[in-house]
Chain A
């Protein structure tokens, strides 16, 4: 219906209306176009090397947001839960890795695996203890929102109670970096960037190609209908939480390995940027979370060419509000996607 009305205004003939119709049909191209225009302007205005370096930094920052955003977008899309506690799941994963990697002294790879498994287990526990009973009672949105916020408070401060507020770091090499054409990227950052892209693409493929993915999309579309058609919704929801929380743990460990700093607030500070990535890409869309994260990372880092760098976080929130207002369904969003 929406497309029909847009076409009708297009026929009435003004050029801008036609342009708007075209833009509405290919939003991803529009975003790409805007990025290219900004790139060209920045290259001529600020020079190639600074532009290249901020682009590299932007891709790294974007991969933090994107990796953290997958779990958020899955839970938001499938369970319609705006999980304000997701950032604190990242923090939790990172502290588990710290416990095994630094306190106990195991290699980082093992600590990473333990962190992912533990965070996934916490996700499943919370589903069984909190979210499933609340769904049975047909809890409303504000009820769930405030419970998620309460959970975020409990998680973050339980971590602070046990581990204290002093900044921690994992036992990883954050100083080695690679140089290429005058551009530098930390080795850990490069690993993170690659892992983020691989993880997001695999989740996106899983959602499109596998039977599990199809069932998840069915739940996202209509939970009750999916249940009626014989999908074991309970099982799919558990799998969703294992994926979402496990990826949150992975994101927490990798982000902290790459930035070299961990406090009880680390995850919460990333939360709004992750929401921005999710909404920018369209809720429930894994490709979208990747694109949204990268666009957000680039806009933050490119903004440092024009403004003092302490403004970059405020700028990314301004981008979030603009996207919400201009295109609430996101770059790739139809009204609802997964």
Chain B
């Protein structure tokens, strides 16, 4: 950026670390993908099913809530509820036939499902804006309706009534309300899911993870429980998609590439398997690294920096799986991927 940076291409600037805008962005991403990864945690860490289609559920949540708000004209929360319902139905549709398959086939079937959703979003231009994405406005109406209108009203009132009086004013803190919303949701979900997993219902899930045949021999309907686990993941994926749409203020099919499912897996193994709280830690760590790398001023183009970020994600997956299969912060006795 500065003259010094151009003459000294290897200078690394750490100024961003003290910028509020940077941290608000990182922590919002961390919460959004934290909620996204809670779904993977309940599938992979607690039920033992390998869901590679989480980005597809996120896409459904994002697009459906935009379409219900803008095209149908429903209020924000009703659109969100319906979008979650659509994602759960999609989860049932893909789960009913394919959860009976072997684990590796299920993984392939779900990644194919998520690609079908993404390609549909890319091609159904009338509904989704295709490759350009949708900026969520209805052009035919006299007063354009933005998808984000409902939220911005709430956001402004939070800023005016709560944040401004305690000193968080100005454009730098414009997105603070969304950060708060995302983190309140994430923490609440972690508490609820922790209760759920310690309930009799959760014990059955873990029994299926340990030994499906034994659980079945005890009269548990393993298939039904797996389907419920996948539906919860779908709902969490859709919720995270709604938040992502609010954060990016535009919905584009690029954001739902299978790469993002695997970023979820990197968060999962960083935070440790079979730990919902670990997901929060993993997500903050990963997004700080990923977004922080954007600011590395080492004389490389944006292409190369982007490539480095994903090389790092790949290395995290390889090294943790090779040397710490329970995840960086995971407990070995609870969950080992070795078997």
Contacts and interface: CB of A to CB of B under 8 A. Distances in A.
Interface string A130-163: 1001100111111111110111111011101100
Among B103, B119, B304, B321: residue with most chain A CB under 10 A = B321
Interface in B283-326: 303-304, 306-308, 310-311, 313-318, 321-322, 325
B317 A153 contact: yes
A279 B322 CA distance: 28
A145 B321 CA distance: 9
A327 to B, nearest CB: 11
B265 to A, nearest CB: 6
B116 A314 contact: yes
Contacts of B316: 150
Interface residues of A, number: 44
A324 interface: yes
B123 A318 contact: no
A79 B103 CA distance: 16
B87 interface: no
A140 B326 CA distance: 12
A210 interface: no
A321 interface: yes
Interface stretch (A41-49, A50-58, A291-299, A305-313): A305-313
B119 A147 contact: no
A152 B314 contact: yes
Nearest to B313: A153
B111 A272 contact: yes
Contact of B119 (A314, A320, A328): A314
A142 B112 contact: no
Given A147-B318, A153-B313, A317 B116 contact: yes
A84 B102 CA distance: 17
Interface in A150-178: 150-154, 156-158, 160-161, 164-165
Contact of A151 (B102, B113, B119, B318): B318
B6 interface: no
Given A156-B310, A161-B308, A328 B115 contact: no
Contacts of B116: 314, 317-318, 321
B219 interface: no
Given A272-B112, A279-B108, A314-B120, A146 B317 contact: yes
B105 to A, nearest CB: 5
Interface of chain B: mostly helix, strand, loop or mixed: helix
Interface residues of B, number: 46
A145 B338 contact: no
Contacts of B303: 160, 164-165
A154 B322 contact: no
A82 interface: yes
Contacts of B103: 141-142
A160 B307 contact: yes
Given A161-B304, A317-B115, A146 B311 contact: no
Contact of A143 (B101, B112, B321): B321
B114 to A, nearest CB: 9
B126 to A, nearest CB: 12
Contact of B108 (A275, A311, A314): A275
Interface string A164-202: 110000000000000000000000000000000000000
B220 to A, nearest CB: 22
A34 interface: no
Nearest to B124: A311
Given A149-B265, A325-B109, 20 more contacts: A82-B107, A138-B338, A142-B50, A146-B317, A147-B318, A149-B317, A151-B314, A154-B314, A154-B315, A157-B306, A158-B311, A161-B308, A161-B311, A272-B111, A313-B119, A314-B115, A320-B108, A321-B116, A324-B101, A328-B105
Pairs A-B, 8 closest by C-beta atoms: A153-B314, A150-B317, A154-B314, A150-B318, A157-B307, A161-B307, A314-B119, A325-B97
9 contacts: A139-B338, A143-B321, A145-B107, A149-B262, A150-B321, A160-B306, A310-B123, A314-B120, A321-B116
